[in-house]
Amino acid sequence: MSESGSWRAGKSSSTARGYGYEWQQLRAAHLAVRPHCVYCLRALGMAGWLPADVVLECAARGIVEPIGTICDHIIPHRGDRRLLLDPANIQTLCKPHHDSAKQREERGDGRR
């Protein structure tokens, strides 16, 4: 479930944590326009590239396209609906980067 003292405490479902219809719509729209993991793009030297250019460059390099499936909050929302639903506060991450690099950043240990 959730950690004691956390804004998540007592909220077992994603809907109870604020991830309802509005979030699902925002997430789908974001991933449709920005399908690539921003950390992977940075590592590949393609940060800020348009998705079509990323696809072509990955094909030219013979590498797998860095698709992300997670819409991550740049500034953790901690229950603040304004931050939760702010399109400018969302970035696309792949699961490995979300579960490792991003978590270290949020803990503040500075490693990537």
pLDDT per residue as tens digits for the range 50-66: 999 999 999 999 999 99
pTM (predicted TM-score) = 0.79
Residue by residue, DSSP assigns 23-49 as: HHHHHHHHHHH--B-HHHHHHHT-TT-
**CB-based contact 96:72 (threshold 8 Å):** no
Q: Is the dihedral of CA 94, 107, 47, 60 positive or negative?
A: negative
Q: What is the mean pLDDT of the chain?
A: 88
Q: Is the pLDDT of residue 74 over 90?
A: yes
For residue 93, what are the contacts with CB-CB under 8 A and spacing of at least 6? 37, 38, 39, 68, 70, 72, 102
| Cα-Cα end-to-end distance for the chain | 27
